[in-house]
Structure 1
């Protein structure tokens, strides 16, 4: 039997080699990771068909064809409207930002007029420093995302390779699991299987539930801001819903865009701005008290702050690929940390017991 130190060195080496391979192959892994994610999401459906007498290869082909058909139908139905909104929003955004800045400066000037000269100097200096820091941080973020591949993505490779990867993984999923299981060290195979099962439960609960949260939240934001009379409310709501996969980020980005558009359109109209903020608060309240607990729940064991940190860290290290791998990594690390903590709390070291001699 391998010593505890030897086991630690072995598994540390495995993790280090895996991270090194991901870092080295990051430019070409994106379509494969997306294909794996699609296969993971659709595997329960193929399993259900298999249990009801439809062979796995035929069920895989059926599911993939149905998924492509749904994407085409939805795309053809929504593409013209979304295309027009995106183009109009892109053309109007610079002017809206300028107007929003003008409205903000007007508000600041009215506040500054009530201050003494010394207070105005201090506030002005502070605002300048904050502005410089914000511009620097934004430029650094854009640079990181650009170099990491979030902006420049090989769209053709995604469209061509991802469906092929998803199809073959779905078809051979069971054989892949059996093969990986056969590689496990036999004395520890039951323990590893149990931890893998817990990781799968946490990951499935979060990913599948959070996709539902994104869909519902995006729809509510789009409807709410459109009803509030906000131009481009549909596209801003969809952006907020898409980014809602990262807890809190989607809503805040949507609110920022909505406030910029609102300020650019009507200036300091507190009723309009209040309605925009009201929609955000209502959707956030529904999401936090009803939607997310029902769809995601707390049983997955992944805290929102842990997910946010993992996604930001993954994006900083590996770009868009790191964002995709962040949730699986967070689920795995969370389960392993809980397993290690459980072993530690049951150990003689924690209990202060002396090792038996003899």
Structure 2
């Protein structure tokens, strides 16, 4: 399918650099880690042409990392999978690391996640994997500077476009970032309360609603879907999480390909489940047994091989309420962080 989509180019055929990047500063990649890519909120508006949305797997962590340094939610962050990233900063700046799964050191000194961090010129940032969780996000004040492709800074690795040259970062790469925002107060010394963070766990309960093909499966399979835990299998990545299951159909009717999105749970021919994630295709032909609600996609994004996930069924009305609550909470948190960074700023 993707072979028929023309390789996208930036608008007017040239890389688009925002005016906020008038004074780019430099950070050098000393170690690239297992998989580090540039991401944002995704490439919306092109699904009808087969272009995936992509973007940060843990959307909440991405948004809040930007808020912690005074950026807009749409600006690019670094998505670091399993840690291992080391950066050298040539200029002073402010950064924030969010997500789940890394221990942070700046010039060898431990630092906290989920808070603004001042980093001096000539400093090194190191992210070491802790053995739990999967993805962390590095935001820098002024935003990471990469060309805008189809309205997004996000990297889509299968097609090789977006982000930093359409690929994961490598040792020796040079990252630039903007620096024309007003300075922050040098004595910022606070972090988010744990209660404000997603419920990252190795055995989470993820809330879902029934999918269009829920009735295709036997009552025993339907009960097992929500009453049993499902192990995350090795064949899991940004396209989707495969989960161990033994789903059985009532009928063997083949389906035409139909719309899917991040959070769609399909049943594979072997009876296992796949929870589609950000880099999944826009259509699929496997039965859709359920749909993960958006607030819990961040929890799914932090699972790794061997973790267990259990599903809890909600009604569409309950799911809508949870979505509205999540959006209000995130928006209020972002506004609160702006006030903490700039106490004299009026937020409307």
- Answer whether TM exceeds 0.5 for this pair: no
Q: Over alpha carbons, which structure has the higher Rg?
A: 1
What is the TM-score when the length of structure 2 is the normalising length?
0.25
What is the TM-score when the length of structure 1 is the normalising length?
0.24
Q: Which has the higher helix share?
A: 1
Q: Which has the higher strand share?
A: 2
